[in-house]
Amino acid sequence: MNKLYLVIGASGRLGRSLMSLLGEQALGVGMSNTSPTLDITDWQAVRRLLEEVRPQVVIHAAAWTDVDGCARDPQRARLINGIGTQHVAAASARVGAELVYISTNEVFDGQAQQPYGEYAPCAPINPYGYSKWLGEQGVRAVQPRHYIVRTAWLFAHGGKNFIQAILGAAQAGKPLRVVIDEIANPTYNDDLAAAILRLIPTGRYGTFHLVNEGAVSRYGFARYVLDQVGHNQTPITPISRQEWPRPSTPPPYAALENAAAASLGVTLRPWQQAVNAFLHAEGLLRDEETA
Question: Which residues are annotated as catalytic?
Answer: 128
Rounded to whole angstroms, the Cα distance separating 144 from 206 reads 9
Is the distance from CB of 7 to CB of 38 less than 8 angstroms?
no
Rounded to whole angstroms, the Cα distance separating 195 from 200 reads 9
Burial 21-35 (b: 16+ CB within 10 A, else e): ebeeebbbbbbeebe
Specify the 3-state DSSP secondary structure of 183.
strand
Is the distance from CB of 88 to CB of 99 less than 8 angstroms?
yes
Q: Name the β-bridge partners of 239.
A: 179
Q: What is the DSSP string of 212-263?
A: -B--EEHHHHHHHHHHHTT-TT--EEEE-GGGS--SS---SB--B---TTGG
Count helices and strands in the chain by DSSP H and E runs: 10, 12
The amino acid sitting at 18 is L
Rounded to whole angstroms, the Cα distance separating 164 from 138 reads 34
CB atoms within 10 A of CB 202: 14
Rounded to whole angstroms, the Cα distance separating 250 from 261 reads 25
Rounded to whole angstroms, the Cα distance separating 32 from 194 reads 24
